[in-house]
Chains A and B, each alone.
Chain A
Amino acid sequence: MELWIAIFAGTMTAATPLLLAALGEVVVEKSGVLNLGIEGMMLIGAAVAFWLAISGWGLPAAFVGGALAGLLSSALFAALALLFMANQSASGLALAIFGTGLSAMIGMGFGSQPVATLKALDLGGLSDLPLIGPLLFSFDPMVYLTLATVPAVWWFLTRTKSGLILRMVGESPENAHAIGYPVLKIRLAAILFGGAMAGLAGAYLSVAYVGIWVENMTAGRGWIALSLVVFAAWRPWRALAGAVLFGGFTILQLHGQILGLPLPSEALSALPYLATIIVLVAISQGRKRRLDVPASLARPYRPGA
């Protein structure tokens, strides 16, 4: 039993950075913009957050700083993609590479010492309850915050007027413009939100999860978040399911290795990817439904052109 609780707890924390970044990208892509630079923005967020934490600013400031750093780096992408109408895929990839380099520069000199990681919330008696305590009330605050973001993003996208307008901009910027909505401003807001979320995801990795800074420490999580968005068919709840599925298999396979399961570790390590693909195929089967790709995804738009 205790083992399953440990696996569950590991799953939730492993899923958190993926989910944060994926939720941000869902909003960006719903507005019709494809930002492939998540990995770079995460790294910049991770480096800045670690810098603040190790200089004694405290973890809340580190998270805010990480989010701001992600936001600023996404503004760079926004300038390229919205102002100069550059190819979005190329601009995103450039941001990913730029972020890797810049974060290495920011983090120079911080590689040889750790920071104390974010502690679990102390919910008094609740955390001590048998079974329910460790399952529900023993995580750090960021895990709860991330989980709360899922319904918030869902509600915004599907139940508010602003969300409807954002989706319209992603489907048909021409129509949105004709009615009088500022397409580029809306897209800018979406990009900045995505950047802040990616920065937060990076901050979670460096100061809450691992507690160290090393160059390139996201190790591909930005790219996984990007594919989770497609897996989730641009839906927040499915992004949660995907992140938990991926995180869960990552943790499960490690425990499997430790138990000495008679399977090659290479096969076990491939499980998270395999499971995600199988589920993706399964849920896309048998229903004549489009995959909900925003119709204008990655298409630059010049108002009035």
Chain B
Amino acid sequence: MQVTRRKLLQGTAAMAGAFALPRAALAQDVLKIGQVNASPAAEIGWSKQHALGIEAIKSALGDKVEITVVDNTFLPQDAERVFRELASSGHKLMFGTSFSLGQPMQKVAPAFPDAAFEHCSGIVHLDNLGTFEAKYYEGMYVAGIAAGHMSKTGKLGFVGGFPIPDIVGPGNAFLLGARSVNPAITCSIVFMNSWFDPGKEKEAAQALIAQGADVILGMTDTGVCVQVAQEAGVWSVGYASDLTSFGPDSQLTSIVLDWSSEYVAAAEAVLAGTWKSESNWGGLNEGVVTLAPFNAGIPEDVRAKMDEAVAAIKSGALHPYGGEIKDVDGAVKVAAGEVLSDGDIRSMNWLVEGMIGTLG
């Protein structure tokens, strides 16, 4: 089709007309939903689990929604433009799936008060900007129980991106779970200081194994740690997705994130006109955190203990950060009978006793 000046003008006029339609008319239409991801689309890991959230909306609401996904939006200035475009083209619900998208969302949201914004792992709330996040530490604690039983050397290894609370906290919970089994166990924590470098992940996992760690947990975005553990003949714990395909004999379990309940609930609420800006923080009980099938190599009694721990965490009888917890220097951080407050969990910037590493 040839684009003539006339057609272009007609098109522009039609678009302007569409925007000028009263809001009520739009509301009867399908709900337009946007998702913005900082990283490229991937087949496993963090972004994949968010893509599954969108899939869940599609299968739950079908024709009632229309979805736009924008990947690879890492730079804040790009993100701001993307959110602005989505909002002004009639999207009434927008998901931002990375912490780094927070500031752009906070800038754009006030300009579109009748649109809903949902920020994953965000900390700032506005009237139309809500957040959702997972209690990784609940799954980590249960995986730690398996690690504590299966480790022969008494040394665990944890690979993370940066020394931030969202990584340090889960690392601590992993060791606390292991220590509930074997109080003498230790865990070395390595930071890559990069969100994404599979080569360095391999080097970190290999270094941990060379220094005697025999259960490796990579809180990263690839299957590399599980793969390295498989080749070295040691155990591993996956994160974000089930990574069994990378190490069928190695992965004890995986802390799998399932955001579908958050996604569907938000979409349904916007459709029903009941959406409110909230801070959703789901764990094992809400099904946001789930555990991949336990490895067949884990003895029956250990699996039973893991199941018990899951049930106890769900019922509230067990809190992974329940006292007494000491930090690396031996100072009591959580007294016996108390639990760490939610605020303290989300800002955890200290290592528990038995951790080997520095936070800088």
Contacts and interface: CB of A to CB of B under 8 A. Distances in A.
A78 B87 CA distance: 44
Given A114-B223, A264-B359, A212 B206 contact: no
B210 A6 contact: yes
B126 interface: no
A212 B198 contact: yes
Given A209-B202, A265-B163, A265-B360, A3 B245 contact: no
Nearest to B193: A269
Nearest to B194: A219
Nearest to A115: B227
Contacts of A205: 199
Interface stretch (B23-31, B39-47, B75-83): B39-47
B188 A257 contact: yes
A180 interface: no
Interface in A261-277: 261-267, 269
B335 to A, nearest CB: 26
Interface in A87-113: 104, 109-113
Interface residues of A, number: 44
A6 B358 contact: no
B196 A259 contact: no
Interface stretch (A59-67, A247-255, A283-291): A247-255
B358 A265 contact: yes
B204 interface: yes
Interface in B220-263: 221-224, 227, 231, 245-246
Contacts of B189: 257
A254 B202 contact: no
A113 B200 CA distance: 19
Contacts of A112: 43-44, 245
A117 interface: yes
A216 B190 contact: no
A5 to B, nearest CB: 9
Contacts of A117: 231
Interface string B327-359: 000000000000000000000000000001111
A6 to B, nearest CB: 4
B197 A219 contact: yes
B320 interface: no
Contacts of B191: 257, 265-266, 269
Contacts of A14: 199, 203
Given A250-B203, A257-B358, A216 B196 contact: yes
B196 A258 contact: no
A53 to B, nearest CB: 14
Contact of B224 (A104, A113, A212): A212
B146 interface: no
B349 to A, nearest CB: 13
B312 interface: no
Contact of A260 (B210, B245, B356): B356
Given A254-B204, A264-B360, A265-B193, A217 B199 contact: yes
Interface string B147-162: 0000000000100000
B267 to A, nearest CB: 27
Interface string A214-226: 1111111100000
A267 B359 CA distance: 11
Interface in A188-220: 205, 209-212, 214-220
B207 interface: yes
B190 A212 contact: no
A133 interface: no
Contacts of A163: none
Contacts of A114: 223, 227, 245-246
Contacts of A267: 360
A210 B207 contact: no
Contacts of A111: 42-44
Contacts of A212: 198, 222-224, 227, 246
Given A104-B40, A211-B227, A258 B157 contact: yes
A269 B358 contact: no
B231 to A, nearest CB: 7
Nearest to B157: A258
Contacts of A216: 40, 196
B208 interface: yes
B203 A219 contact: no
Interface centre among B163, B192, B202, B356 (most CB of A within 10 A): B202
B211 interface: yes
Nearest to B241: A112
Contacts of B44: 111-112
A50 to B, nearest CB: 12
B236 to A, nearest CB: 13
A209 B228 CA distance: 10
Given A255-B207, A260-B358, A221 B199 contact: yes
Contacts of B207: 6-7, 10, 251, 254-255, 258
Given A6-B207, A111-B42, A214-B42, A257 B199 contact: no
B179 to A, nearest CB: 17
B203 A257 contact: no
Contacts of B213: 258
Contacts of B359: 264-265
Nearest to B39: A215
9 contacts: A104-B40, A114-B245, A117-B231, A205-B199, A210-B199, A214-B221, A251-B207, A254-B203, A257-B188
Interface of B: 40, 42-44, 157, 163, 188-194, 196-204, 206-208, 210-211, 213, 221-224, 227, 231, 245-246, 356-360
Given A260-B356, A260-B358, A266-B191, 5 more contacts: A10-B207, A10-B210, A110-B43, A114-B227, A258-B357
